């Protein structure tokens, strides 16, 4: 096994951009395109059939985006894909503060790019209206179940707090190797099963920002809550995890880590040549 090193920052930021893009595109796309899909009845066949995936399918879609991209690029960036997670890990001293702004910017840009792609694809269907139909988060009149601002604030704080607790727990040395992305994805699925009716589920400011401006209908004006609440929840988790569990891994960064020989092509070596097998 060769020496391990952290990939260069450009690669890490690209991984965060791509991972957040996939999270927003996959999760919000499932909500927009597939959650309530009705078949088009053929002549004389009666009413259309509901073929949509519903809340369960949307919850699974969000979880699966995290699982797939964490396995794909987690070794490059640590697979945060969420500004609140990045900040919570920094509060927990598992990620360096100087890298936080770059990660957050990459995540927000990835979310916005996904929102743009979702909007562009949805416009390919006759009669599509973006306003109110982009799977945006909201409270009061913009909450799927009509939940108040305080209720949504409390839910988002609590859910993000437990999300970051799980991330901190499954990424420590004693956790089963290779299963962290699966546990994190399942936790995100559970979070959505609980809270889609409450707020359409954020726990991720980049996810909320990514579709809010395309959605309109009051979503941009409520975006502050979906930055504030997840960051508060993540910060609480980051500050208290080692106190609650007695596990102090504050010297163990959750960043990408690759073999040096995979990161760098030695001088004089053709980068397109076949690589030797260990």
Measured CA to CA, the distance from residue 164 to residue 132 in angstroms comes to 29
CA-closest candidate to residue 96, choices 256, 263, 268: 256
Q: What is the pLDDT of residues 40-88, one digit of tens each?
A: 766 556 677 777 899 999 999 999 999 999 999 999 999 999 999 999 9
Per-residue model confidence (pLDDT) at position 272: 66
Q: Is the confidence at residue 278, as pLDDT, over 70?
A: no
Collect all residues with Cβ–Cβ distance below 8 Å to 31 and sequence separation of at least 6.
58, 61, 135, 200
Residues in the chain: 278
Give the bridge partners for 38, in sequence order. 50
Predicted confidence band at 196 (pLDDT cuts at 50, 70, 90)? Answer: very high
Q: What is the pLDDT of residues 89-124, one digit of tens each?
A: 999 999 999 999 999 999 999 999 999 999 999 999
Which contiguous run of DSSP H or E holds residue 105?
helix 100-122
Opening angle at CA 171, ends 76 and 160, nearest 5? 95
CA-closest candidate to residue 186, choices 47, 22, 63, 12: 63
pLDDT (mean) for 180-188: 96
pTM above 0.85, yes or no: yes
């Amino acid at each position: 096994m060769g020496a391990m090193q952290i990939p260069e920052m450009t690669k890490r930021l690209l991984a965060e951009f791509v991972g957040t893009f996939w999270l927003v595109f996959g999760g919000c796309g499932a909500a927009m395109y597939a959650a309530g899909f009705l078949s088009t009845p053929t002549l004389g066949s009666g009413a259309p059939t509901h073929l949509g995936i519903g809340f369960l399918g949307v919850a699974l879609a969000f979880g699966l985006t995290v699982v797939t991209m964490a396995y794909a690029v987690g070794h490059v960036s640590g697979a945060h894909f969420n500004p609140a997670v990045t900040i919570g890990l920094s509060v927990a001293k598992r990620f360096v503060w100087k890298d936080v702004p770059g990660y957050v910017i990459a995540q927000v840009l990835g979310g916005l790019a996904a929102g743009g792609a979702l909007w562009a694809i949805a416009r390919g269907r006759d009669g599509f209206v973006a306003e109110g139909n982009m799977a945006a988060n909201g409270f009061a009149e913009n909450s799927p179940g009509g939940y108040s601002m305080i209720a949504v604030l409390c839910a988002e704080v609590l859910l993000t707090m437990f999300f970051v607790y799980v991330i901190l727990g499954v990424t420590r040395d004693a956790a089963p190797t290779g299963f962290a992305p699966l546990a994190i994805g399942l936790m995100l699925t559970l979070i959505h099963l609980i809270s889609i009716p409450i707020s359409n589920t954020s726990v991720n400011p980049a996810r909320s920002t990514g579709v809010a401006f395309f959605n309109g209908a009051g979503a941009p004006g409520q975006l502050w809550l979906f930055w504030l609440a997840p960051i508060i929840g993540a910060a609480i988790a980051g500050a208290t995890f080692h106190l609650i569990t007695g596990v102090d891994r504050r010297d163990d960064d959750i960043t990408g880590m690759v073999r040096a020989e995979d990161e760098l092509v030695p001088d004089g070596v053709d980068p397109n040549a076949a690589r030797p097998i260990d």
